[in-house]
Structure 1
Amino acid sequence: MSDEILINVSPQETRVGLVEQGVLQEIFIQRASHVGVMGNIYKGRVERVLPGMQAAFIDVGLDRTAFLHASDIHVDAANSPASGAGDINALLREGDSVLVQVIKEPLGSKGARLTSQLTIPSRYLVYLPHADHVGISTKIEDEDERTRLRDLLTQLIEESGRPGSFIVRTAGEGVNSEELRNDVTFLHRLWDSIQEAAPHSSAGTLVHSDLPLIMRTLRDLMNDDIERVRIDDEAAYQRCVAFAQRFVPGTAEKIELFDGTAPIFDLYGAEDELQRALDRKVPLKSGGHLIFDQTEAMTTIDVNTGAYVGYRNLEETIFKTNLEAAQTIAHQLRLRNLGGIIIIDFIDMIDETHREQVLAALGKAMSRDHAKSVVCSLSSLGLVEMTRKRTRESLERILCEPCPTCMSRGRIKSAETVCYEIFRELRRTARQFQAREYRVLAHPDVIARLADEQSTGLAELEEVVHKPIRLLAEAQYLPESYDVVPL
């Protein structure tokens, strides 16, 4: 089964799904209410310099000031180490203007992450105006091809007579000199336009924006494995074809207008897969399951055998479950776009060979991921530690919001616990107020428990306070909310 890209367009939201072998692997979402800023170039103004953190906060016109670390600041040749290069106080002062690029979207309560070491991508290359070396994508493994590309780019740089350098993207494997020359010329012209616009831009404004989501998809995701791109909006389809014909040669014929009767994300069960990606529990085909817990600091994944009992022995059952879990974890990390520190608690394995095979399976499954990841060996506690580059919000953070009932704890107090709190509040209120009666307003489940299982305790409390207690169910109350009203 071939790989495809599904693009669902509406006035409010654009969704791009990458389908590999008939399974939704990655999802990209852009909403009209929140357009991503990744890759955008701004003229920023330094708001605060923090020597203790060797960083500065930059106003680029976003809701929150963005973060720029000293290590991400381009240092001119004139700023030699002797003149203090690397020291934030020597590089920036409050009120300075600086040309910066977003390398990480605002995440949670954190502002965007910036760099002044700018990079400008095209189909085959990434231009680095301030660098002086040629780079080749690590996914191009053939040494002869790497050498050919490096020599070719070096020659093109010398011919242009311009500063800066390039990195060959994975899509550049096998391209000829003319295609690379066209990309070099395009990127030089684009950089010239940015340099011309920057001096006339006021601080805190956008100088250059990256391509819209659909165009970025064609630029970044299109490869020989993609058999077709389906788009369910005619206007977007026309724009994509025109863009592909000009900038992504050989791919325009792969773009199709989808006119099916069912929604496009119903293909391959992509909509259902997307909904399941929001669940905390992920079932395994064997009967086991995974538990995903995403926190501010890290993501933890617990592997359980569940109903799977195997056919031979316990060790073999654990090994089979862990192998399947490794494949599913790699899929879910991509689909949920989970990044940062990730801790995986595989089921304990005694056999060292089994451990190595599970780690190898996880590494192989992660190899198709577009985000850079590093998988460490098993720790002394039997945990696998890994990192995955995080540049944008996770799927859960995009589609969900904190629960108003549990206040993001993931748990709510039981009805029994709330009943006991009400008993304590009744005693407290009775000491403070003289009343004819006390009325309790609470969620229907809590009121039902007070009238049934806790009726004896409620009767005893009436004797203590010497006043009747009336119960009133309020459907609009949250399960943990209640009021005790003296009348």
Structure 2
Amino acid sequence: MSEEILINVTPSETRVAVVENGVLQEVYVERASRRGLVGNIYKGRVCRVLPGMQAAFVDIGLDRAAFLHVSDIQCETEEAVRVEGCRPPESITDLLREGQDVIVQVIKDPLGTKGARLTTHVSIPSRYLVLMSNLRHVGISQRIEDEAERLRLKELVQERAPEGCEFGFIVRTAAEGVGEQELTEDMTFLTKLWTLVRERVAQAESGAIIHEDLPLAVRTLRDLVGDEVERVRIDSGETHVRVQTFARQFMPQLMERIEYYTGERPIFDLYGVEDEIQKALERKVQLKSGGYLIIDQTEAMTTVDVNTGAFVGHRNLEETIFKTNLEAAQAIARQLRLRNLGGIIIIDFIDMTDAEHKRQVLRALEKALEKDHAKSHISEVSNLGLVEMTRKRTRESLEHVLCSACPTCNGRGFMKTAETVCYEIFREIMRQARAFDVSTFLVLASTEVVHRLVDEESTSVADLESFIGKPIKLQAEPQYNTEQFDVVLM
């Protein structure tokens, strides 16, 4: 598999595209005006404790208070629980009080109307390790499957860990096969950084940021670049130098793969990335066979509907449905990554009667999601042909980053017809005629609605004038949308 990472940098925005075999798979966008908060450490102040929800709201200096659940709170008794087996506090009121200062880290960006999600289990990642403030031992990534390698890494980190340190380490997947020197350098770096964080905590005021995660371009190198990535292309000289400096210090083996792109064509035009981003904002996703997906993102969940469309197959209906669902499984996995869809996802595959076909489609979806960096969990196919799954969500979806709700329909995706609005106007005139004694009614409405009132509804307007005994004047307002109107009393 050939993988390439393209980094497009402008003064106001940084965008990263992950391309596999010439096909866009993931997009990350970070804007200077509102950088992502995940990974940032703050000195917050508890502004409200909610025993009924077993949670608290914490002021960390943002527009909305952030949310901290009891399960994300590190307490002094946790080590005792592991060692002595005693029970931890059961209520959040045993752990927090209003006005208390608390060191927290953002684990989810603010999403929609929800504030950021916090934890007091502070962690700081490097290339090969993650420093965990709430652990006193060494953990190994589950993706490292070789038992001998797991044992080697664990012993190496335990031997090199600072003596008497009050934190632990998680060994990341990228550390597989890495030597002693690289791991030691990472531990030294993280230990110094954690010492600096503790010093800043002592000096900072409530609501202050203590530690900010690396910018997107450098995070990409740290988190996304593995052995499968052939090269990283960057179209900014300044960012290229910064990324190289980081690589030289922490990831020297990647130096040769980092390129400064100086081509005349925009870097995102190389593999049609711009076009793919535009397609990722549409509801309909066309499949090569002629079938298609309809993807709808709502506050509660995301739904994916699979349709055969123009695909008629060559053998029989069951085979046609099976092939469409197989192709859809691959496409859905890519769209989840590309659009960064998280939370609850319901997939409505076309109904299959063959149990083996259901199993194969589910397996195809699971296999396609193996390359996804975000964790996901898939249930079995239900009797209705629905697949329920969850995908971990830590940042806003591509649609939420790049788009806002339509100001005309307020995000509903539909509007009232001109006919419906005409009847609403008639009811409003009747309401006003009963309440006020006026000589004339003036209706201000969109051009489309006025045209309908003058044409198809002219008889209704005349009947209404006769019924209320007052003239009705019409005036088109080009700036009004279809649903807008005013009835002016004259």
TM-score over 0.5 for the alignment? yes
Q: Give the counterpart letter for 2:102 in structure 1.
A: V
Deviation, structure 1 residue 435:
4.1
1:81-480 counterparts in 2 under 5 A?
85-157=89-161, 160-480=163-483
How many angstroms does 1:427 deviate by? 2.3
Q: Deviations over 1:83-103 (max 9, x none)?
A: 863431221122221111111
Aligned residues: 486
Aligned to 2:488: 485
In the TM superposition, what is the alpha-carbon distance from 1:396 to its structure 2 partner?
1.0
Q: Report the 3-state secondary structure (helix = DSSP H, G, I; strand = E; otherwise coil) of the residue aligned with 2:385.
A: coil
Taking the TM superposition and a 5 Å limit, the aligned residue runs for 1:33-48 are 33-48=33-48
The 1:78–1:305 alpha-carbon spacing in structure 2 relative to 1, beyond 3 Å, is closer
Task: State the distance in 2 between where 1:378 and 1:235 align.
Answer: 50
Following superposition, the deviation at residue 370 of structure 1 comes to 0.6
C-alpha spacing 1:7/1:78, structure 2 compared with 1 (3 Å): closer
Q: Determine the structure 1 residue equivalent to 2:55.
A: 55
3-state SS, counterpart of residue 227 of structure 1:
strand
Contact 1:5 1:16 in 2 (8 A): yes
Give the distance between the partners of 1:396 and 1:328, measured in 2 at CA. Answer: 18
> What is the TM-score of this pair, normalised by structure 2?
0.95
Q: Which amino acid aligns with 1:411?
A: F
AA partner of residue 102 (structure 1): V
Q: Deviations over 1:14-44 (max 9, x none)?
A: 1111111111111111112211111011111
Change (3 A) 1:84 1:237: closer
Question: 1:227-275 deviations in whole A, cap 9, x for unaligned?
Answer: 1111111111111111111122211221112222222111211011111
Q: Which residue of 2 aligns with 1:74?
A: 74
> Matched residues in 2 for 1:216 and 1:78: separation?
31
Q: Which amino acid aligns with 1:227?
A: E
What are the Cα deviations for residues 107-163 of structure 1, in whole angstroms up to 9, with x where unaligned? 111111111111110001111132033222222233332232223223323x64423
The answer on whether the counterparts of 1:303 and 1:346 sit within 8 Å (CA) in structure 2 is yes
Equivalent AA in structure 1 for residue 187 of structure 2: V
- SS in structure 2 of the partner of residue 16 of structure 1: strand
Tell me how far 1:190 sits from its aligned partner: 1.0
* Deviant stretches of 4+, over 4 Å: 77-84
Secondary structure of the equivalent of 1:203? coil
Say which is worse superposed, 130-139 or 220-229, in terms of deviation. 130-139
Please, which runs of 5 or more residues in structure 1 have no aligned partner?
Answer: none
Cα 1:79–1:149 shift into 2, 3 Å: closer
- TM-score when scaled to structure 1? 0.96
| Structure 2 unaligned blocks of 5 or more | none
Cα distance between partner residues in 1 of 2:386 and 2:423 = 40
Q: Does structure 2 conserve the Cα–Cα contact (< 8 Å) formed by 1:49 and 1:94?
A: yes
Q: 1:78 to 1:221 in 2, by over 3 A?
A: closer
User: Which sits farther off after the overlay, 148-157 or 68-77?
Assistant: 148-157
What corresponds to 1:9 in structure 2? 9
Change (3 A) 1:128 1:84: closer
Q: Displacement of 1:424 after TM fit?
A: 1.7
